[in-house]
Amino acid sequence: MDSRPEVRAVAGTPGLVERIPMRTTRRLLPVVLLTGLVGSYVAAAEDQPPKAEEVLDKFVEATGGKATYEKIHSEKFSGTFEFAGKGIKGAITSYRAEPNNTYTSVELEGIGTIEEGTSGEVAWTRSGLQGPRIKEGDERAASMRQATLRAPLEWRKLYKQAETTGVENVEDQACYKVVLTPNEGKPETHFYDKKTNLLVKVTLTVNTPMGEIPTETLLRDYTEQDGLRSPHKIEQKAMGQEFVISIDKLEYNIDIPKDRFALPADIQALLPK
Amino acid sequence: MAYRRILITVTWVALSCTEATSAPALTPNQKRLNIESFELIWSTIRDQYWDPDFGGVNWQAVHDELRPKIEGAASMSDARAVMSDMMDRLGKSHFGLIPAEVYEDLDAKGGEGTAGLEVRILDGRAIVTSVEEGSPAASEGVHAGWEIRRVEGTALAPSLDKISAHYRDATTQELYLARSVLAKLSGDPGSAVHVEFLDGARRRVSKTLTRIQPQGTPAKFGYLPTIHVWFRTSRPAEDTGYIAFNFFLDPAHLMTEFGDALGKCAACPGVVIDLRGNPGGLGIMALGMAGWFIEKPDQRLGTMHMRQAPIKFTVNPRRPAYRGRVAMLVDACSASTSEIFAGGMKDLGRARIFGTRTAGAALPSAIDRLPNGDAFQHAIADYVSEGGRPLEGIGVIPDVEVKLTREALLAGRDPVLEAAIEWIHARR
């Protein structure tokens, strides 16, 4: 088995409103990008799929290339968040900045505002429903991985192993199935379309205080912005529920107020003295 | 949602009592739709029932046994009996068939107007347990403790007897009884309802009550109909806080009000949380509220078992935590999230429960339409409180059982609240 760490992909969150995945897409993409370097993809026999590195490299190329990713220092997106078939929806806004600062707010009708963020070594979440909470263990590790702005280019730091385990259809499209094992947490499985080289599906188990939640995320509507292609529709299923994030506006390298990533007072109050 | 579920169930019961006994023959198309409905129920349960072993029931064998019977069903009544039989094999509540004619009626917009009365069934009689201040009932001089005998000229007793008989072994009996009376009293705002009471002296008193909009703030959650949510706080005794709300909904407002109320009573030796009549709502709100009383991390109210994985109802402690005594008031109309909250707080040793056994109706369920026009209700998870017992069909058993009585109500007393306050003050 290849001992080198390999590409990663992050995915959002579980079916609980609390852990709403925001940058799912964004992170997934970056993850893959990491592959970067490696040489050209060599057509492999169906019974011998390409190595994970090759698959991941192809993804980076398909979405804009390593150099383009390296030009990105911050991003902001806004859109809608909807629980499919439930009539519950709202607005989502997310900010990211290097190296691993994030802030996401989801305002859901009938529920209120749910916020998540990472700053320094702290990953946190807060809502009127549950109050403030600092993430720990695997949950924190997952958030910090997802927060890494150019994760695809740093995958060796984030994942200790990546392996292509076969070919599997996702909605009638043949995909390479790549299993990524993070340094902390359970393996994630990514599916890359054989024709487009795009990441189209991720399955993983999200660790939360409510237990280990298996999730399945579909990535759709890849759209180019400033040379990078990223999915603008993310569908995630968890525990019999499905929610959809639709990105309406995506901006890179914008000025983000410094205090955007400051820890809220009630989160600071939870930190060890 | 529990609220919707309860209403649906009650109405179904009421209407099914009057179902015609004739059994017209089915057309070939109706037979086909019944078979498709049978298959949809069977496959839905196969795919979504939380226990992949179906509690020891051979689900495939049930299908194979009953499939010829649904194919041979000669009437809708026969077909429904076969489908009900299939669901009954699981031996669980929250699985049932709702006839099309009932479903259509339920789907129609019902009036949300209220006369301002709260009702419970005490010793087999429909008794007014509270009269909303400023309501039509209050204006007409209706008092807590009065008995409701007739609504729109129709005696309640026969209907109550039928529901009592149907649910004679169920913990939900009182819930359905109370809801059936309240359903008869409700209607469009502005419309009138004629009610015959027996007053405190057992004299017949007839009142015409004009329904008004319910109290509270209109709250919308998904596709649920607009529900009015109210929150009340008071000091029923020196240094004792009191909190009540009618639904676990509208969290943006309710959670804030709950936290504020506790904050204002931070130095109180005890707080009373009145969940009587609360049919539930968003389960996660129980976790959020429990966070104000629990200081230790990794504490759970219980566990929801689903097919995909168990969900631990883990409490996120909030600061500052309320450290005084917590008394929770419950009755047979406390259901769903109310039971999860009260049961978990009891199991964690953080609250003492006063009142009567809760409804034992805690499972989340869905209602799906069938090809033949009927609908079927099916639970999608099982719930076990932290103490290790399921709540479904059992309910939360109070630490201190206190029953309301007509006499106490007529005297303007609330013996359940009194017992809770006495316990809080006994600490001093």
Distance in Å from the first CA to the final CA of chain B: 41
Query: Range with the lowest mean pLDDT among A155-159, B31-35, B248-252?
Result: A155-159
Q: Using alpha carbons, select from B344, B342, B368 the residue that is nearest to residue B355.
A: B342
Instruction: State how far residue B171 is from chain A, nearest Cα, in angstroms.
Output: 28
- Report the pLDDT value the prediction gives residue B2, as an integer from 0 to 100: 31
In a domain, B111, yes or no: no
Q: To the nearest 10°, the Cα dihedral for B234, B258, B393, B98?
A: 100
Tens of pLDDT, residue by residue over B34-54, are 999 999 999 999 988 988 899
Inter-chain CB pairs, A–B, below 8 Å: 83
Percentage of residues of chain B with pLDDT beyond 90:
71
- Which residues, 6+ apart, have CB-to-CB distance to B50 below 8 Å? B305, B306, B307, B379, B380, B381, B382
Question: Which residue among B179, B210, B241 closes a domain?
Answer: B210
Q: What is the distance, to the nearest Å, from the Cα of residue A204 to the centroid of all Cα atoms in its chain? A: 11
Q: With bands split at pLDDT 50, 70 and 90, how would you rate the model's confidence at B104? A: low
Residues B233 and B141 in one domain: no
Residue in B with minimal Cα distance to A206:
B309
Residue B188 domain-assigned? yes
The pLDDT value given to residue A254: 95
Q: Are B6 and B175 in contact (CB under 8 A)?
A: yes
CATH of residue B200's domain is 2.30.42.10
Residue B172 domain-assigned? Answer: yes
SS in 3 state form for chain B? CHHHHHHHHHHHHHHHCCCCCCCCCCCHHHHHHHHHHHHHHHHHHHHHCCCCCHHHCCHHHHHHHHHHHHHHCCCHHHHHHHHHHHHHCCCCCCCEEECHHHHHHHHCCCCCEECCEEEEEECCEEEEEEECCCCHHHHCCCCCCCEEEEECCEECHHHHHHHHHHCCCCCCHHHHHHHHHHHHHCECCCCEEEEEEECCCCCEEEEEEECECCCCEEECCCCCCCEEECEEEEEEECCEEEEEECCECCHHHHHHHHHHHHHHCCCCCEEEEECCCCCCECHHHHHHHHCCCCCCCCCEEEEEECCCCEEEEECCCCCCCCCCEEEEEECCCCCCHHHHHHHHHHHCCCCEEEECCCCCCCCCEEEEECCCCCEEEEECCEEEECCCCECCCCCCCCCEECCCCHHHHHCCCCHHHHHHHHHHHHCC
State yes or no: pLDDT of A49 exceeds 50. Answer: yes
Dihedral sign, CA of B180, B123, B271, B312? negative
A143 closest CA partner among A93, A189, A201, A104: A104
Smallest CA–CA distance, residue B314 to chain A, in Å, is 6
Residue in chain A lying closest to B310 (CA): A211
Question: Does the pLDDT at position B100 exceed 80?
Answer: no
pLDDT confidence tier of residue B369, bands split at 50, 70 and 90: confident
- For residue A111, give the nearest of B252, B256, B380 by CB distance: B252
Same domain, B237 and B341: yes
pLDDT tens readout for residues B181-226: 998 999 999 999 999 999 999 999 999 999 999 999 999 888 777 8
The reply to whether residue B252 touches residue A128, judged by beta carbons under 8 angstroms, is yes
Shortest alpha-carbon distance between residue A63 and chain B (Å):
33
Among A210, A213, A266, the residue to mutate for chain B (most B Cβ within 10 A) = A210
- What was the ipTM of the complex prediction? 0.81
Is residue B77 within 8 angstroms of chain A, CB to CB?
no
pLDDT band, very low/low/confident/very high, at A28 (cuts 50, 70, 90): very low
Spatial strand order of the sheet with B310-314 comes to B310-314, B300-305, B382-385
User: Does B311 contact A at CB distance below 8 Å?
Assistant: yes
> How far apart are the C-alpha atoms of B144 and B177, rounded to whole Å?
18
- CATH number assigned to the domain comprising residue B351: 3.90.226.10
Q: Which of residues 344-403 of B touch A (CB under 8 A)?
A: 380
* Average pLDDT of span A54-58: 93
Chain B contact set for A129 (CB, 8 A): 251, 255, 282, 284-285, 287-288
Of B222, B251, B256, the CB nearest to A87: B222
Phi-psi region of B360 (alpha: psi -120 to 50; beta: other; left: phi over 0): left
User: Of B217, B298, B318, which to mutate for an interface test with A (greatest number of A Cβ within 10 Å)?
Assistant: B318
Domain map of chain A by residue range? 17-268
Whether residue A14 is predicted with pLDDT greater than 70 in this model: the reply is no
Task: From B116, B108, B114, B157, select the one nearest B8 (Cα to Cα).
Answer: B108
* A77-90 residue pLDDT tens: 999 999 987 788 99
Task: Specify whether the CB–CB gap between B122 and B155 falls below 8 A.
Answer: no
pLDDT of residue B9: 29
Residues of chain B contacting residue A18, judged by C-beta atoms under 8 Å apart: 284
Last residue of a domain, one of B190, B210, B230: B210
Provide, as residue numbers in chain A, all residues whose Cβ is less than 8 Å from the Cβ of B255: 112, 128-129
What local confidence, expressed as pLDDT, does residue A153 receive? 78
Instruction: Tell me the mean pLDDT in the region B107-123.
Output: 81
Same-domain check for residues B302 and B331: yes
The reply to whether B294 touches chain A by the CB within 8 Å rule is: no
Tell me, yes or no, whether B141 and B245 share the same domain: no
- Are residues B70 and B180 both part of a single domain? no
Locate the chain B residue with the closest alpha carbon to A90: B222
Judge if B199 and B290 occupy the same domain: no
Angle, in degrees to the nearest 10, between helices B337-347 and B283-290: 30
- How far apart, in Å, are the Cα atoms of B234 and each of A12, B241, B244, B362, B425? 43, 6, 9, 28, 16
Maximum average pLDDT range among A33-42, B85-94, B268-277, B374-383 = B268-277
> How many structural domains comprise chain B?
3
> Do B355 and B266 lie in a common domain?
yes
**pLDDT for the residue numbered A129:** 93
Residues B188 and B222 in one domain: no
The pLDDT tens digits for B149-190 are 999 999 999 989 988 887 778 888 899 899 889 989 999 999
Do B128 and B149 lie in one domain? The reply is yes
Straight-line distance from the first to the last Cα atom of chain A, in angstroms, rounded to the nearest whole number: 44
Residues B171 and B37 in one domain: no
* pLDDT computed for residue A46 by the predictor: 52
Q: What pLDDT is attached to residue B293?
A: 98
Residue B350 in any domain: the answer is yes
Of B210, B233, B255, the domain-final residue: B210
Whether A129 sits inside 8 A of B251 (CB atoms) is: yes
Q: Does B319 touch chain A (CB under 8 A)?
A: yes
Which of A89, A239, A242 best probes binding to B when mutated, by most B CB atoms within 10 angstroms?
A239
What A172-176 contacts at long range (C-beta under 8 Å, 24+ apart), as own/partner pairs, is A173/A200, A175/A200, A175/A201, A176/A49, A176/A50, A176/A55
CA angle B266, B272, B274 (to 5 degrees): 135
DSSP letters spanning A183-242: SSS--EEEEEETTT--EEEEEEEEEETTEEEEEEEEEEEEEEETTEEEEEEEEEEETTEE
**Poorest-pLDDT segment among A150-154, A193-197, B62-66, B344-348:** A150-154
Residues of A in contact with B285 (CB under 8 A): 129
State the pairing for strand pair B227-229/A112-119. Answer: unpaired
Say what the pTM is: 0.83
Shared domain for B251 and B157, answered yes or no, is no
Q: Residue B24 is part of which domain span?
A: 2-96
User: To 10 degrees, the CA torsion angle through B94, B100, B104, B110?
Assistant: -40
Average pLDDT, integer, range B21-31: 77
Q: Closest Cα of chain B to A201: distance in Å?
A: 19
User: pLDDT band at residue B378, thresholds of 50, 70 and 90?
Assistant: confident
Mean pLDDT, rounded, of chain B: 88
pLDDT of A199-230, one tens digit each? Answer: 999 999 999 999 999 999 999 999 999 999 99
Give B229-280 pLDDT, tens digit per residue. Answer: 999 999 998 889 999 999 999 999 999 999 999 999 999 999 999 999 999 9
pLDDT tens column, A105-120? 999 988 999 999 999 9
Q: Which residue has the higher pLDDT, B401 or B6?
A: B401
- Which of B222, B291, B319 is nearest residue A269 as measured by Cβ atoms? B319
- Of the pLDDT bands very low, low, confident and very high (cuts 50, 70, 90), residue B23 is low
Q: Which residues face B241 on adjacent strands? A: B271
Residue B301 has pLDDT above 90, yes or no: yes
Q: What are A207's two structure tokens?
A: 């660790």
CB contact under 8 A, B306 and A239: yes
Q: What is the pLDDT averaged over residues A24-48?
A: 34
Residues B176 and B275 in one domain: no
Domain A17-268: CATH superfamily is: Lipoprotein localisation LolA/LolB/LppX (2.50.20.10)
